[in-house]
């Protein structure tokens, strides 16, 4: 059975400064408030049928004394819509609800916690973050790659930081877990709270990650452009590469929303280029039948078509081959060899998709995540993250969500819906 216990720094001896607003009482939660892991009758009868997650929300008693509390915020990894919304939400919640006046932003990811890099932390106040949600990216900057855990904890000690909010993907959250373990080893009372960030929507045990709604909305616009290009030429092909290293959620949702995509290629479903049942022959048939085609491919799809070289990026992730350019070259060569005219337009909007400001739906989601994160940290919760599960905000242990990725199930209703929408063969192998 999964371990869902949340670590605590100790007894909560201070009364929360939160107060009712008019006649609206503070919706305090206790450890007895739980959200079931499963939401189906069949699930209740399984191994994890009685498993439940601790519900997020304000606690009546808190661990940290707000006037004496110092907070730090760090953003790591690739950019994602909503980062500034999270920063703004944390700062406002700390200042205006809990009365915390020392909130530092560590610049350029985990590098900002290592003093030899010389990235001076900046003081964050409500007035300095009041408009940052209107801009993409992160005002703190970001970076990839591991840093010495001991050096980062030294910085937290030197600056008397009591709470560190870590905003990032699975690699960042693994680093946060190691920071929490080093803090515990030293016998320090500091809270480490994660807020999961990934455009790919691949964090385990979450309904969705922030920024995904915005990213896929932008991707839909790119699908429309690909369709327009394909329809505007003889045997036109619109080839669109989207984000999705190991999970194809953006590609799937963008295709379903656009409703004019002919092929969706994702990491979870292998495909062959050659052969009577391969992609190229299926594409030739589609062109003969309709005169144009749109292909949406996730960046991690088709990696079995490349020779593995063992190269990794700064975060230690396997460096993938460029499937978009590979498909472009293979498709052009295939039709050229058969003396069939095609007009292929290749579109890669990856950096546009990830760098835009969050849309209103993500604005709201980020605000709720930030509020939940501050409530958890002030109650002395640590080595955990906040997320949404079955439409409720919950606390999850860091180690629980960093061992694996959420993926598109090839036997799920989602993938079946994609196959129905595109009309592509279920298997192209």
Q: Distance between CA atoms of 83 and 79, rounded to whole angstroms?
A: 8
Q: Cα angle vertex 361, ends 359, 367, to 5°?
A: 100
The pLDDT of residue 405 is 87
pLDDT at position 35 is: 94
Q: Which CATH architecture has domain 213-354?
A: 3-Layer(aba) Sandwich (3.40)
Residue reference for tokens 């993250």: 385
pLDDT digit string, tens, across residues 370-429: 999 999 999 999 999 999 999 999 999 999 988 888 999 999 999 999 999 999 998 888
What is the pLDDT at residue 3?
A: 82
CATH number for the region 14-209+358-402 comes to 3.40.50.450
Is 43 one of the annotated binding-site residues?
Answer: no
244 labelled binding-site residue? yes
Burial label for 40, CB within 10 Å (0-12, 13-18, 19+), is: exposed
Where in the sequence numbering do the catalytic residues fall?
200
Q: Is the pLDDT of residue 154 over 70?
A: yes
Residues 262 and 295 sit within 8 Å (Cβ to Cβ): yes
Q: pLDDT for 217-246, tens place per residue?
A: 999 999 999 999 999 999 999 999 999 999
88 is in an annotated binding site: no
- The reported pLDDT for the residue numbered 46 is 63
Rounded-to-integer distance, Cα 257 and Cα 139, Å = 31
Model pLDDT for residues 3-56, shown as the tens digit of each residue: 899 999 999 999 999 988 888 999 999 999 999 998 766 666 566 668 999 999
Packed helices 149-158 and 170-185: angle between N→C axes, nearest 10 degrees: 60
pLDDT value, residue 314: 64
Q: Within a 13 Å sphere around the CA of 254, how many CA atoms are in the beta-carbon half?
A: 37
Q: How far is CA 124 from the centre of its chain?
A: 24
pTM of the model: 0.93
* Per-residue pLDDT at 158: 97
Across all residues in the chain, what is the average pLDDT?
93
- pLDDT number for residue 43: 61
232 labelled binding-site residue: no
Confirm whether residue 353 is marked as ligand binding.
Answer: yes
Task: Let me know: does 73 contact 110? Beta carbons within 8 Å.
Answer: no
pLDDT in tens, 348-371: 998 888 999 999 999 999 999 999
Among 120-129, 197-206, 297-306, 322-331, the range scoring the smallest mean pLDDT is: 197-206
Does the pLDDT at position 176 exceed 70?
yes
How confident is the model over 159-175, as pLDDT tens digits? 999 999 999 998 899 99
pLDDT of residue 308 exceeding 80: no
Report whether 170 belongs to an annotated binding site.
Answer: yes
**Annotated binding residue at 200?**
yes
Domain limits of the chain? Answer: 14-209+358-402, 213-354
- Residue pLDDT, tens place only, 66-105: 999 999 999 999 999 999 999 999 999 999 999 999 999 9
Residue 196, pLDDT above cutoff 70: yes
111 annotated among ligand-binding-site residues: no
Domain 14-209+358-402 and domain 213-354, same fold? Reply is: yes
**199 assigned binding-site residue:** yes
Q: Is 339 annotated as a binding residue?
A: no
Does residue 172 have a known ligand-binding role? yes
């Amino acid at each position: 059975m999964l371990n869902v216990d949340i670590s605590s720094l100790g007894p909560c001896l201070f009364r929360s400064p939160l107060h009712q607003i008019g006649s609206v009482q503070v919706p305090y939660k206790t450890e007895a408030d739980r959200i079931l892991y499963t939401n189906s009758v069949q699930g209740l009868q399984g191994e994890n049928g009685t498993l439940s997650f601790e519900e997020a929300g304000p606690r009546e008693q808190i661990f940290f004394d707000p006037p004496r509390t110092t907070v730090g915020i760090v953003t790591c990894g690739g950019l994602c819509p909503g980062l500034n919304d999270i920063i703004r939400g944390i700062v406002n919640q700390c200042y205006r609800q809990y009365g915390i006046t020392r909130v530092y932003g560590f610049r350029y990811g985990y590098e900002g916690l290592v003093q030899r890099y010389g990235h001076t932390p900046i003081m964050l106040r409500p007035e300095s973050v009041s408009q940052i949600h209107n801009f993409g990216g992160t005002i703190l900057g970001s970076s990839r790659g591991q840093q010495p855990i001991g050096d980062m904890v030294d910085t937290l000690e030197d600056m008397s930081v009591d709470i560190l909010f870590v905003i990032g993907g699975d690699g960042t959250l693994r680093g946060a877990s190691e920071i929490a373990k080093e803090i515990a080893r030293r016998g320090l009372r500091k809270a480490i709270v994660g807020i999961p960030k990934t455009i790919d929507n691949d964090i385990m045990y979450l309904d969705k990650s922030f920024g995904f709604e915005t990213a896929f909305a932008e991707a839909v616009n790119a699908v429309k452009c690909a369709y327009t290009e394909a329809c505007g030429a003889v045997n036109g092909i619109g080839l669109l590469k989207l984000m999705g290293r190991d999970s194809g959620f953006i590609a799937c949702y963008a295709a379903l929303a656009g409703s004019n995509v002919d092929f969706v290629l994702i990491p979870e479903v292998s495909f062959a280029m050659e052969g009577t049942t391969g992609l190229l022959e299926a594409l030739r048939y589609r062109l003969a039948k309709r005169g144009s085609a749109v292909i949406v491919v996730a960046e991690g799809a088709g990696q079995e078509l490349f020779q593995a070289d063992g190269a990794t990026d700064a975060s230690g992730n396997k460096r993938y081959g460029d499937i978009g350019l590979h498909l472009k070259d293979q498709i052009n060569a295939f039709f050229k060899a058969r003396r069939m005219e095609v007009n292929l337009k290749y579109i890669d909007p990856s950096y546009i998709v990830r760098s835009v400001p969050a849309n209103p739906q993500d604005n709201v989601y980020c605000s709720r995540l930030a509020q939940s994160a501050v409530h958890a940290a002030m109650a002395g919760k640590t080595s955990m993250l906040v997320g949404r599960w079955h439409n409720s905000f919950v606390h999850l242990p860091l180690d629980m969500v960093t061992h694996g990725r959420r993926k598109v199930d090839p036997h799920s209703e989602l993938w079946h819906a994609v196959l129905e929408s595109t009309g592509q063969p279920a298997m192209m192998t």
